[in-house]
């Protein structure tokens, strides 16, 4: 990140903590925004997002920091490309909460197909991947049977 953007973010944090601690607001910039939210439960969220979507094609990325009461913290990153309205990319979360360490990753494969994984969720990831492969094979088999039926 360039120095000017870092300085803007620090100024943004400082001003928001002084004047707008109980409000939510966004500062737009070209192809993105910086947002600050103070939630009713006391959690604070700071987000930096950017993206471009032209007719369902483009890219998006984001970085969000959540600061909670009791010392909880997490950082979420989001990124991917948009092809025909479908997202291909990842979402990752890393942080600490009441339950301990949080490290999750979701892989988006378009057409509402998402693989969920992370620390302690390896089984979910493998099951989601196996289910995706099974559905893909069934879809190909249906298409093959449909082509054969059309020829008859």
pTM for this one?
0.67
Q: Which two tokens stand for residue 122?
A: 């390896």
* Structure confidence at residue 121 (pLDDT): 80
Q: Which two tokens stand for residue 74?
A: 């997490």
If one compares 151 and 60, the residue with the highest pLDDT of the two is: 60
Write the CA distances from 73 to 9, 34, 35, 82, integer angstroms. Answer: 19, 19, 17, 29
Q: Is the pLDDT of residue 21 over 60?
A: no
If one compares 139 and 24, the residue with the highest pLDDT of the two is: 139
> Average per-residue pLDDT in the chain?
83
How confident is residue 13, by pLDDT bands cut at 50, 70 and 90?
low
Q: What are the structural domain ranges in the chain?
A: 3-105
Q: Is the pLDDT of residue 68 over 70?
A: yes
Q: What is the pLDDT of residues 88-103, one digit of tens each?
A: 999 999 998 888 888 8
């Amino acid at each position: 990140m360039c120095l000017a953007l870092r300085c803007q973010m620090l100024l943004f944090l400082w001003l928001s903590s002084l004047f707008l601690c109980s409000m939510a607001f966004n500062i737009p910039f070209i192809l993105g925004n910086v947002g600050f939210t103070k939630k009713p439960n006391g959690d604070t969220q700071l987000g930096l997002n950017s993206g471009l979507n032209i007719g369902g094609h483009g890219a998006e990325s984001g970085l969000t920091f959540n600061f909670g009461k009791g010392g909880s913290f997490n950082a979420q990153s989001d990124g991917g490309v948009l092809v025909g309205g479908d997202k291909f990319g990842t979402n990752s979360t890393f942080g600490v909460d009441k339950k301990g360490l949080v490290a999750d990753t979701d892989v988006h494969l378009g057409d509402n197909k998402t693989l969920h994984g992370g620390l302690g969720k390896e089984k979910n990831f493998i099951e989601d991947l196996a289910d995706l492969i099974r559905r893909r094979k069934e879809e190909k088999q249906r298409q093959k049977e449909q082509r054969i039926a059309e020829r008859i």
